[in-house]
Amino acid sequence: MLDYGHDIHGLYNSCVTIARAEPRKLQRLTDLDASTREIVGLLNDFAQTTRCHNLDALSSANSGKDPLEHWNEILLAILRSDVSSRRKKNPCVRRCHSECDFR
């Protein structure tokens, strides 16, 4: 486990390899739906680089993508693609719409 460090992509790919010997298979990273791949990518980036984003932003001009902004982008994409028009009228979703620039 220590060999992987904070490489979540590498760890996931090793899990896929191990799962080949099991009756229930694990999808390859490239076979996951776009939202799930994006979430795994966010977690991988956070583990490797962006977890110190706020400190990096204070100390340098190149702090990379803000992980909270990235998470918001993922949530909005999921809301746009997976939430029905009827459910978008729900007060909680409407609140997200007004606070998160949901279209």
Judge contact between 80 and 93, C-beta under 8 A: no
Low-confidence spans in the chain with pLDDT less than 70 = 1-4, 50-64, 96-103
State residue 85's pLDDT score.
79
Q: How far is CA 84 from the centre of its chain?
A: 22
Alpha-helix residue ranges (DSSP H) falling in the chain: 8-19, 34-48, 53-59, 67-82, 91-100
State how far the Cα of 71 lies from the Cα of 77, in Å rounded to an integer: 10
pLDDT for position 63: 60
Domain count, the chain: 1
Note the pTM of the prediction, 2 decimals. 0.65
Q: Provide φ and ψ at 89, rounded to 5°.
A: -85, -10
Domain holding 44, by residue range, is: 2-100
